[in-house]
């Protein structure tokens, strides 16, 4: 089993004719994802390979059942694309685009929530249920079907952790890159709830980073609400004081968001924290 997506998920690609959208749409199809349509305003009636392209989400919806959409449009149009998908009541909206203005995404976030829909991202790699469906930019070949859930603020660290899990014979149920911006649609707690309810996920890896207090909140949730084994990793632990990190959400202020606070919160909740990604499989095996 998996969470959010499976082999029956019908996917729409917004921005499908752009450089990134077209490249990753082809990769997703190659990796087994059911992409039923794409959207680029002004390109309606064209095709990307065998995928029909429409001028709007509503136009695509007239011809296809759409379970999820992935957004590759430029940053200045991304929030509008999210709202367009929400207006069409698409239940899962995955925003890959980075550099979206925070105030625009804050408005889009509340708009999506007000309609009872789920957004993942922005500034994220998407998600994958190995052997079933991939929506986003994760490299398929390093994944393996299994029963370990992965939640991460960092795209590239997700890949490194998954690579180590796969090499250790520990396949994944679903891997979610939640994104590193200050405003994201799905946080650690949201994803932990889904994995806790999934009977085929046996354990979870949480990959955090310095800045904000999402990891501390997740630790408290794990302590009180999660029965499955969880292992953590915090990136940026060796960053010099005052060093700017790559993610907009990786900001330490007022003494909050330090790596020490996050590690302590996880350990207090009974979550062992790896100092290096290749330690994660061993720590997880000890708890399974």
Q: How confident is the model at residue 241 (pLDDT cuts 50, 70, 90)?
A: low
pLDDT tens, position by position, 145-180: 999 999 999 888 999 999 999 999 999 999 999 998
Q: Considering only 4-13, 179-188, 207-216, which range has the smallest mean pLDDT?
A: 207-216
Cα–Cα nearest to 15, from 65, 62, 51: 51
Q: Return d(Cα 196, Cα 75) in angstroms, integer.
A: 33
User: Model pTM?
Assistant: 0.94
Distance CA 143, CA 112 (A): 30
pLDDT per position as a tens digit, 48-81: 999 999 999 999 999 999 999 999 999 999 999 9
Task: Give mean pLDDT, residues 228-237.
Answer: 90
Round the average pLDDT of the chain to a whole number and report it.
93
pLDDT in tens, 104-140: 999 999 999 999 999 999 999 999 999 999 999 999 9
| Confidence at residue 256, expressed as pLDDT on a 0 to 100 scale | 58
Sheet harboring 203-209: ordered strands across?
Answer: 133-136, 126-129, 172-177, 145-152, 203-209, 230-235, 273-274
Q: What is the pLDDT of residues 185-213, one digit of tens each?
A: 999 999 999 999 999 999 999 999 888 88
Helix axes 214-225, 188-197, angle to 10 degrees: 30
| Cα distance between residue 108 and residue 114, in whole Å | 10
pLDDT value at position 155?
Answer: 85
Structure confidence at residue 43 (pLDDT): 98
Mean pLDDT of 205-231: 95
* Residues paired with 13 in a beta bridge: 38, 70
157 preceded by a cis bond (ω within 30 of 0): no
250 pLDDT above the threshold of 90:
no
Judge whether residue 255 has pLDDT over 60: no
pLDDT at 76: 97
Structural domains of the chain, ranges and CATH numbers in brackets: 10-120 (3.40.50.720), 139-287 (3.40.50.261)
Q: Catalytic site residues?
A: 247
Tokens 């993942």 sit on residue:
120
Rounded percentage of the chain residues whose pLDDT exceeds 90: 86
pLDDT at site 239: 60
d(Cα 174, Cα 195) in Å, to the nearest integer?
9
How far, in Å, CA of 21 to CA of 18, rounded? 5
Residues of the chain with pLDDT > 70: what percent?
92
Chain mean position to CA 138: 10
Predicted local distance difference test score (pLDDT) of residue 245: 56
């Amino acid at each position: 089993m998996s969470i959010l997506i499976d082999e029956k998920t019908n996917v729409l690609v917004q921005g499908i004719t752009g450089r990134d959208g077209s490249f990753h749409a082809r990769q997703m199809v190659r990796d087994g994802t059911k992409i039923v349509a794409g959207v680029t305003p002004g390109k309606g009636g064209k095709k990307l390979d065998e995928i029909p392209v429409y001028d709007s989400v509503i136009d695509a919806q007239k011809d296809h059942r759409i379970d999820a959409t992935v957004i590759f449009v430029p940053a200045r149009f991304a929030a509008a694309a999210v709202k367009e998908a929400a207006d069409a009541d698409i239940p899962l909206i995955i925003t890959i685009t980075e550099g979206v203005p925070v105030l625009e995404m804050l408005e889009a976030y509340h708009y999506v929530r007000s309609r009872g829909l789920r957004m993942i991202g922005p500034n994220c790699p998407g998600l994958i249920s190995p052997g079933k469906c991939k929506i986003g930019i994760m490299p398929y070949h390093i994944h393996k079907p299994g029963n370990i859930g992965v939640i991460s603020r960092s795209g590239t660290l997700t890949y490194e952790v998954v690579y180590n899990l796969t090499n250790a014979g520990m396949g994944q149920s679903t891997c979610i890159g939640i994104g590193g911006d200050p405003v994201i649609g799905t946080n650690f707690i949201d994803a932990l709830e889904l994995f806790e309810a999934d009977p085929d996920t046996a354990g979870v890896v949480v990959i955090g980073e310095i800045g904000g207090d999402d990891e501390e909140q997740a630790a408290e949730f794990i302590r009180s609400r999660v029965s499955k084994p969880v292992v953590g990793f915090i990136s940026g632990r060796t960053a010099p004081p005052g060093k700017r990190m790559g993610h907009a959400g990786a900001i330490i202020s007022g003494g909050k968001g330090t790596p020490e606070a996050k590690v302590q919160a996880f350990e207090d909740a009974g979550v062992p924290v790896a100092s290096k990604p290749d330690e994660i499989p061993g720590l997880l095996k000890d708890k399974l």
